[in-house]
Chain A
């Protein structure tokens, strides 16, 4: 079959610079993880014990009050993630094979992607390299091919997915080693990478949508990986259902595209989109529906609520799916549809405004979270908001740039948190403690026990806070600078949004961006202080068991640490290279030029960059804000005063509102979930299902049949005389009919 696929692909795009090169193996990129999924899935079926540890296993803590209070994560990870010295470790019998196959296919995929990348750097290409495999659906005017395309944007995404993905897979080898569901875990993870690659390689919206749904499925499966705990299964369902709302938007956008443009492949849409009236209602509707899909997948207001709950999954899953790759699919989709968004200033401003509000909103919640993974979850939502500000103001390069750097430092932060949680679990496990292993009030002072993790996480924290010269500084600064630039002159600045002039709105977004940057620095410093500094609150007995993770877990951290430091070199701004000759400037910008260049130009309306002085001031302000945030947190927060979770008093007033996440979940519960239940039970079930369907349609049709049957049976009197009468009357009638005719 592989040969067939390649033979089918060989005929296409003969004149393209990439044809006949290693890029012809494009189909192998997603196929390798799929192969891993098949192998690991097969091995997972071949196991005596399936699923999470059962309560009789030695490595399982019984349910506790602590677990009941913080239901989702802590307990579940205790059940699975931790090895054990004095208990018999129940490793999966195929753990060795799985540990090689799982990361192996990803590393192979990454090597292949690297080969293609090197080819692409040598062969400048203006059009995407498209491989068509077979006609997927062809009915009437609709003709959709199963086709992949490789262009500069896909290439960046593929490198991030396979590169960061490989590191996280390697980390998982150590982190999940002693979980009874080890092969199942890697099967899901491989399947996720397969769908993610389909998403970014698809040459048309329907193929992208297959990947889009597929990653949603894998996200669901991995959030509920320890599904025997109901909270985890519920979190998975929540993610799935909330994403359905977004997917509806994406579907409608696709229908509108097809109905009005007649095509769904990216090349065709980009060509024909220019026929649409710029700024018209139609293109705005298409973009807004598409953005609804992005808001679901990328956890933006109002559909962000699933992402914090998604932390119920294993920590490497949070790193890969819910920080580095899947949740950035929305940013990718907007960059991919840049032509459409550039035609609609209203939709673009909506994207940017939503991103800004989300960035600020999530950052404030992050300030008061105690669960280390929840802090990172809200931080992810906030950073995704930044990316949407970037792509919303038509600075597609900066959005993608932040996507890439964020995948480095956020993956590092999550894996570092995983390393901390791993140590906590190991310690609690030895002492049979039932405390919450993810609550920062129970951690503290870990720099003494996990020095490598400590250093690396500080690097990532500085990167996300925007301290030069770390990766996040360049990408975040570029987004803020782009907003400022657009406010000065662009199609966005001259447009109005809900009655607000575009330029005013952009200045507000810039201000919100700065404020979020400040809060980012504060909550990240807070997390680092409470986790790694001050006294250790884990407990005297537990402290003896705290230790750094094995090399298989720290090595990926080191690589990500290096990337978090040097990631900014991908796209050095001109203003900095003029001051300090660090290297070639705007590499990523030039790289993505063929994909988003035209759209960016259309939005910026040909306005030149802001003057160097203005840009220098902007950078100065951004750095100042980040430093101020870190210093404020450092001066204000006193880890020494923290008490353990069980002794902590509840927050009051506004602090409580923030700690309770503004009660958004509760509001959604009241406004949507409860009414839905009520309508389902009282109307849909009692009236429609019981009354109409069961009562009228099902039993009603039965009653009609029974009525006719009763009437028919009255004819059968069993009395021979009656039959004779009927017979005679019939004969007479027939005779009469024949004679009188």
Chain B
């Protein structure tokens, strides 16, 4: 049972990573990051089924933090869009050496 759960979360996490690596749109990347967070939450839940309730407590924490992160992250994306009329990360490279 655990193996299947972990396989599912690993698949979800990998999809998220690939999404982050391949996309240029900040919103999509953001959503992929959320997907990775969610897959990790699923892992916690799956483990708590076998090893006690501590994992479920973590899930609550992660969800809280990701909510805050989503708020801040979306605000930043909006600010960038207002400033540069694009959220294509290819065009946002001010820190190039």
A720 at the interface (CB under 8 A from B): yes
CA A717 to CA B97, docked complex, whole Å: 6
At the interface, yes or no: A738 with Cβ under 8 Å from chain B? no
- Cβ-neighbour of B21 out of A713, A714, A716, A725 (below 8 A): A725
Partner of B92, one of A720, A724, A725, A728: A720
Interface residues of B in 70-97 (CB under 8 A from A): 89-90, 92-97
A83, chain B: closest CB distance, angstroms: 76
B21, B24, B90: residue with the most chain A Cβ atoms closer than 10 Å: B21
In the complex, what residue of chain B is closest to A719 when comparing beta carbons?
A: B93
Interface: B6 (CB within 8 A):
no
Q: In angstroms, how far is the closest chain A Cβ from the Cβ of B10?
A: 12
Contact of A728 among B21, B89, B93, B94 (CB under 8 A): B21
Alpha-carbon separation in the docked complex, A724 to B96 (Å): 15
Report whether A717 and B96 are in contact in the complex, using a CB–CB cutoff of 8 Å.
yes
| In the complex, A499 has a CB within 8 A of chain B | no
Q: Is A721 an interface residue (CB 8 A)?
A: yes
CA distance in complex: A540, B20 (Å) = 110
Name B22's closest neighbour in chain A (CB-CB).
A721
Interface footprint category on B: 10 to 19
B24-A718 in contact (CB<8A): no
Bound state CA distance, A715 and B89, in angstroms? 17
Closest chain-B Cβ to A489's Cβ sits at a distance in Å of 90
Indicate if A653 sits at the interface (CB-CB under 8 A).
Answer: no
Is the pair A718, B96 in contact by a Cβ cutoff of 8 Å?
yes
**What are the residues of chain A within 8 A of B29 when measuring CB–CB?**
720
Within 8 A of A (CB), among B1-25: 17, 20-21, 24
> Does A715 contact B21, Cβ atoms closer than 8 Å?
no
**Could you tell me if A712 and B96 are in contact, using CB atoms closer than 8 angstroms?**
no
Nearest A residue to B33 by beta-carbon distance?
Answer: A724
Determine if A719 and B96 form an interchain contact, defined as CB atoms under 8 angstroms apart.
yes
**CB neighbours of A728 from chain B (8 A):** 17, 21
Q: Are the C-beta atoms of A718 and B94 separated by less than 8 Å?
A: yes
B17 pairs with A718, CB closer than 8 A: no
Q: Is the CB of B96 within 8 A of A716?
A: yes
Give the docked Cα–Cα distance between A725 and B29 (Å).
13
Bound form: Cα–Cα A717–B93 in Å: 7
Give Cα A712–Cα B97 distance, bound, in whole angstroms: 8
Q: When chains A and B are docked, how far (Å) is the Cα of A728 from the Cα of B96?
A: 20
CA A712 to CA B90, docked complex, whole Å: 21
Residues of A close to B20: CB separation below 8 A = 724
CB pair A719–B89 under 8 Å, yes or no, is yes
Q: How far is the CB of B35 from chain A (nearest CB, A)?
A: 14
Encoded as 1 (CB less than 8 Å from any B CB) or 0, chain A from 205 to 224 comes to 00000000000000000000
Taking CB atoms, residues of chain A closer than 8 Å to B21 are 721, 724-725, 728
A719 lies within 8 A of B90 (CB): yes
Interface string of A705-717 (1 = CB under 8 A from B): 0000000111111
Q: In the bound complex, do residue A715 and residue B97 qualify as a contact, i.e. CB atoms below 8 Å apart?
A: yes
Contact A721 B97 (CB under 8 A): no
Write out the residue numbers on chain B whose beta carbons fall within 8 Å of the beta carbon of A721: 21, 24, 89-90
**In the complex the two chains form, is B89's CB within 8 Å of A720's CB?**
yes
Q: How far is the CA of A677 from the CA of B63 in the complex (A)?
A: 81
The residue in chain A whose Cβ has the minimal distance to the Cβ of B91 is A719
Contact A713 B92 (CB under 8 A): no
- Which residues of chain B have C-beta atoms less than 8 A from A718's C-beta? 92-97
Q: Give the chain A neighbours of B90 by CB distance below 8 A.
A: 719, 721
How far apart sit A717 and B21, CA to CA, in the bound complex (Å)?
15
A715 CA / B96 CA spacing, docked (Å): 8
A721 CA to B93 CA in the complex, in Å?
10
Please report the C-alpha to C-alpha distance between residue A715 and residue B95 in the assembled complex, in whole angstroms: 11
Distance between Cα atoms of A715 and B92 in the complex (Å): 16
Bitwise, B28-56 to A at CB < 8 A (1) or not (0) is 01000000000000000000000000000
CB neighbors of B among A444-500 (8 A): none
Contact of A716 among B17, B89, B95 (CB under 8 A): B95
For A256-271 the 0/1 string (1 means CB < 8 A from B) is 0000000000000000
The residue in chain B whose Cβ has the minimal distance to the Cβ of A712 is B97
Closest CB-CB distance, B73 to chain A, in whole Å? 13
Bound-state Cα–Cα, A713 to B96, Å? 8
Chain B residue contacts of A712, Cβ below 8 A: 97
Q: A715 — which chain B residues lie within 8 A by C-beta?
A: 97
- Name the distance in Å between A182's Cβ and chain B's nearest Cβ: 68
Q: Which residue of B lies closest to A723 (CB)?
A: B95
Chain A nearest CB from B79 CB (Å) reads 16
B95 neighbours in A (Cβ, 8 Å): 716, 718
Can you report 15 A-B residue pairs in the complex whose CB atoms are below 8 A from each other? Answer: A712-B97, A714-B97, A717-B96, A718-B92, A718-B93, A718-B96, A719-B89, A719-B93, A719-B96, A720-B89, A720-B92, A721-B24, A724-B20, A728-B17, A728-B21
Q: A715-B97, A724-B20 are in contact. List 6 more A-B contacts (CB 8 A).
A: A716-B97, A717-B97, A718-B92, A718-B94, A719-B89, A725-B21
Among all A-B residue pairs, the 6 with the closest Cβ atoms: A713-B97, A718-B96, A716-B97, A718-B93, A718-B95, A720-B89
Footprint of B on A, CB under 8 Å?
Answer: 712-721, 724-725, 728
